[in-house]
Structure 1
Amino acid sequence: MNISELVTAEPDGASFRQLRIRGHLLKVVTTSPEADALVSETFWPPGMLGVFDTPPGSTHRPDLTVVDLPSSPTDIHALLRLAADNCVPGEFELTRDYRLPRYDADTHTVFTLRDVNSDEVAALVRTEDRAVIVRPRSGLGDRWLTRIIRDVATRIAKAEGSLVLHSSALVFDDGAYLVVGDSGAGKSTTAIALARLLPEAGWMGNDRMHLDRRGHSYDVTACPLPLAINKGSLDVMGVSDFDGWPVRAGLPGVGSDWDQFQGEDKLKLSSREVHRFLGVDVVPQAPLAGVILPRIDREAAYRLEPSTLDHTSEVIRRNCFSLDDNLYGEDWLKVPVRHHAPPPSVEDFLEHLAKLPVLRCSLGSAADVARLADEFARAVRL
C-alpha cells in the first residue's frame, strides 16, 4: 500500500458529503454505504454536537478532509509494517490512559486504531489537511468514521469554550433541563421518562452535554452518544414491546445482566431509534432552563425538592468533564480550530444555576416516575 497515493487519491466509487461544525467545514469521503448511513443515523437531528450537513457544491476549501477506506486485514497490517519500518515509532493517547503505537514521518503520521474492547486493528494516516481511515470491512470498522467525526466536533467545541457535563437532558417548555449525576444515578431513565410523559417535551441526549455561554444565559447542545438503558428502566416507564425492535446494536445477548434494574449491560439506541421506538421527539439544542439531580433506588421513598447549594455544587463538580477530561487524551488528530476560548468556570456556572430551578429527586417505581412528571411540571413553572 503506497502511502503517498493513499493520502492524495480519491477512492473509486466514493460518496462525498460536507459537514459544517461550528463554522468549520469537514469533507467526508467513504466507499461504505453502511458507514455513511451510520453518520446520518448518529448526527440526527441536524445540530447534534453542532454538526450540520451543508448543500453540495460548496466552493470553500474544507478545513479537514476525512476519508474512510475499507480494506483487508492484510493491507492494514502491511501499511502498519511499512510505517514501522520507515518512520519514527512512538505512542499516542487515543482515549484517556489508552495508548497505542504511532509512526511519524516528515509528511505524515500513521496511527494504530484499536477499540479498547476489540483486537480488530485499523489505521489512520494524518497529513496537514487530510485524515485517511484504513479499516476492516466490518460493523466495528464502519463505526470508525462516526467516531472520528465526533472526536473532531468535540475538540472544536471544547477549544471554543464549551463546558462539558456528564449529563442527560430533556426539553420542556422550549428549555433544556440537564439531568446530572454519577453513573447509575438514573440520568438516562429520568430524562427519557420525563420526555415521554410530559406533553410536548423532548429528549436531548445521553451522557454528555455541551454548554456554551451566550451573554447572560447558556445554550445546551447534545453530544450524539446512544441512549444506554436497561430493562429495569424500561419497566419503570411501562415499555414492554422491545423484543421486536430491529435496533442497530441489537438486544443484549444471553448471559448479560441487562434485565436487572441497574445492570451493567444495556440496550443502546441512537437518537433516531429513541424517536422511532420510544415515540419521543429529539431536540439537539435549547437554552438552559434548569437542572435535575436524580437518584434511582427501589428501596428509597419518593422525593422531589429543591436542591441545596452544597449538594448541587458537589454533584456538578464531580461530573464536569472540563475539569479533568477523562474522555479524550492528547489532541492526536491535530483538529484545526479557528477560535479558542476558555470555558466558563464552574463557579460562574453554579452562580447562574442559583437563578434557575435545581431539583433533586428519588425514584423507585413506575408510579414515582408518573408522579415526578406531574410535580416537575408544576415546580419549574412556579
Structure 2
Amino acid sequence: MNSLLDSITGLADHLSLHISISILGKPYSIQSNAKQAIRYVEEIFFSSHVNGIVYEKNTLPRGAAIQHVSIEEADFDTLLNSIREAAFAKERCQPVNNSYYDVYKLPEACIYFQDYTDDTSGKHLILNRSGNYILITVPNPYEFMILARFVREIAFRLLQDDGCFMVHTSAVQINGKGILIVGNSGAGKTTLALSLCKFNQAKFVTNDRLLIKFDEHMRPQGVPFGMPIKMNYGTLRTLQVETQYEQWQLSIPMVSKKSFYEFKGEHKLHISPRELNTNLGIDLQGRIQIEGIVIPRILRANMQELEQCDVRRTLEDNCYFDQDPVFVEDWLGIRNTESTLDQSTKQSMLEQLLQLPVLDITFPVDQFKNVAMDITRWVDSW
C-alpha cells in the first residue's frame, strides 16, 4: 500500500512551476509540470479575492499542497489499475450536477477518478491525503482547465464554511458601488454587465455566480466566483466586437458554432477574466460591498408587455442559501459547518438584500447600451 502511495507522490516530486496563494488566510502551494494549467489558474483568479484567493510572493512552497502532474495515458491506466486493486471500497460522489467521480478508498487516502471527457474536462484522478492533493491528468484539449476548477472547489467550500452563500447573478462595480444583476437564465445578465463595463466604465466583478457574506453590520459583501465568461454572437454584437473576436488569442477552444448565433444557444465563446481585460479593455474588480440590485427583463419580439416583477420571488429563486444546484456536493469533505441554514437565518439574509435599492427594468433586446446609461444614472442618483 505504501509503495502505491509513494509511487503517486513520487510523480509530484520536483515540479518546476509554482504559485503561492492563501484562501481566507490559509496558505496553499500550487505546483504543476504544465505551464498552460498554471497560466489558466492565474487567468481565472485574475483579480485579488476571486473565490477568496490572494496571491502571495513566497518563492518557497508552504501550507497545504495542490500538486498537478500531466502524464501519458498508458502510464495513467497502469496507475489506475493498481489503485483499483489496492482499494478496499468503492463509492461515487457528485462534484457537479450531471457529473461524477468514482471514489476509491485506501487506508491512508482517498482517490477520486473521472473516467470521461467532456467539453470542459477530461480523464483524471485526485489523491487526497490528509488535505494535501495530487491531481493527475492525461493530455486532451481541456486538460489545462482541471487544476483551476479543483482550486476553485477548495476555495468555494472554505468560503461556504466561513458563512458565504451562492447567488445566481452577474455583478459590476459602478463608481465604487457594487451592483447585482439578478435574473433567471436568458434575462440578459451577462450582456448587461458587459455593456455597463464597455460603454460606462463600470468594473466587471463576476458573470454567473457571486458569493455573499454579511459583515458584522449586516452589510452584504460580494466575493467573485472564478469562471469563464460565456458569450454568444448577440452579446459580441451588442459590445460592437463581432468583427474582432476571431482574432483574439483565447485559452478555451470553441467547441462548435452550431448554436452560436441563436438566443440561449449552448455553443458560446468562453473567455477568462484576464482575457476580458486584455481583449476588451474592461477593468476587473474583486471583493465588493453590495449596494444595489438590478433585475433586467428583455422584451422580445411579439411581446407587448411583461408581468410586474416579483422582486422577492426573483431573489428567492436565485439565492442558493443551502446548496448550489450546479456545485451540489462538498465531495472533499472540507466544510465543518452545517450545509443547511435555518429558516429564520435565510429570511433575515433575504430581508437585508430587499432593503437595498432595486431597479426592475424592461427593455427591447437592441437597447442594452442605452439601458446601461440609464442604470449608471440611477446608481449615481443615490
- Of residues 372-381 and 335-344 in structure 1, the stretch that sits farther from structure 2 once superposed is 335-344
Gaps (5+ residues) in structure 2?
A: none
Structure 1 runs (4+) greater than 4 angstroms displaced: 300-304, 336-344
Q: Note the C-alpha offset of 1:83.
A: 1.6
Distance 1:303 1:154, change over 3 A: farther
Number of the residue aligned with 2:138: 136
Give the secondary structure class of the aligned counterpart of 2:265. Answer: coil
Q: For 2:256, which of 253, 262, 269 is the aligned residue? A: 253
Contact 2:193 2:204 in 1 (8 A): yes
Superposed CA offset, 1:313-344 (max 9, x none): 11111112233322234322233769999699
Number of the residue aligned with 2:271: 269
Q: Note the C-alpha offset of 1:252.
A: 5.4
Superposed CA offset, 1:20-79 (max 9, x none): 1111111111111111111111110222111111121568x51x2111011111122222
- 2:375 maps to amino acid: F
Distance 1:298 1:338, change over 3 A: closer
Q: Note the C-alpha offset of 1:120.
A: 4.0
Q: How does 1:32-181 map to 2 (within 5 A)?
A: 32-57=34-59, 62=63, 64-87=64-87, 88-96=89-97, 98-114=99-115, 117=118, 120-181=122-183
Q: How does 1:348-359 map to 2 (within 5 A)?
A: 348-359=348-359
Aligned-pair RMSD on alpha carbons?
A: 2.8
Distance 1:355 1:303, change over 3 A: farther
Contact 1:194 1:373 in 2 (8 A): yes
Q: Note the C-alpha offset of 1:347.
A: 2.1
Q: Note the C-alpha offset of 1:204.
A: 0.7
Distance 1:115 1:363, change over 3 A: farther
CA distance in 1, matches of 2:302, 2:353: 27
Contact 2:108 2:129 in 1 (8 A): yes
Distance 1:10 1:258, change over 3 A: closer
- 2:329 maps to amino acid: E
Number of the residue aligned with 1:321: 320
Q: Note the C-alpha offset of 1:81.
A: 1.4
Distance 1:7 1:303, change over 3 A: farther
- Of residues 322-331 and 354-363 in structure 1, the stretch that sits farther from structure 2 once superposed is 322-331
Distance 1:340 1:160, change over 3 A: farther
Superposed CA offset, 1:224-244 (max 9, x none): 111111111222233332222
Distance 1:340 1:52, change over 3 A: farther
Distance 1:35 1:302, change over 3 A: farther
Q: How does 1:15-34 map to 2 (within 5 A)?
A: 15-34=17-36
- 2:256 maps to amino acid: G
Number of the residue aligned with 1:285: 287
TM-score by length of 2: 0.89
Number of the residue aligned with 1:226: 228
Q: Note the C-alpha offset of 1:300.
A: 7.0
CA distance in 2, matches of 1:338, 1:321: 16
Distance 1:315 1:359, change over 3 A: same
Q: Note the C-alpha offset of 1:360.
A: 1.4
Number of the residue aligned with 1:237: 239
Distance 1:251 1:369, change over 3 A: same
Give the secondary structure class of the aligned counterpart of 1:139. Answer: coil
Contact 1:161 1:340 in 2 (8 A): no
The aligned length equals: 374
CA distance in 2, matches of 1:136, 1:332: 22
> Identity of paired residues, percent?
20
CA distance in 2, matches of 1:332, 1:252: 28
Give the secondary structure class of the aligned counterpart of 2:95. Answer: strand
Contact 1:176 1:287 in 2 (8 A): yes
- Of residues 92-101 and 67-76 in structure 1, the stretch that sits farther from structure 2 once superposed is 92-101
Contact 2:161 2:337 in 1 (8 A): no
Give the secondary structure class of the aligned counterpart of 1:296. Answer: strand
Distance 1:276 1:16, change over 3 A: closer
Number of the residue aligned with 2:211: 210
- 2:65 maps to amino acid: T
Give the secondary structure class of the aligned counterpart of 1:281. Answer: coil
- 2:311 maps to amino acid: T
Contact 1:206 1:227 in 2 (8 A): yes
Contact 2:12 2:69 in 1 (8 A): no
CA distance in 2, matches of 1:159, 1:339: 8
CA distance in 2, matches of 1:235, 1:297: 18
CA distance in 2, matches of 1:301, 1:290: 28
CA distance in 2, matches of 1:167, 1:146: 21
Distance 1:17 1:236, change over 3 A: closer
TM-score by length of 1: 0.89
Gaps (5+ residues) in structure 1?
A: none
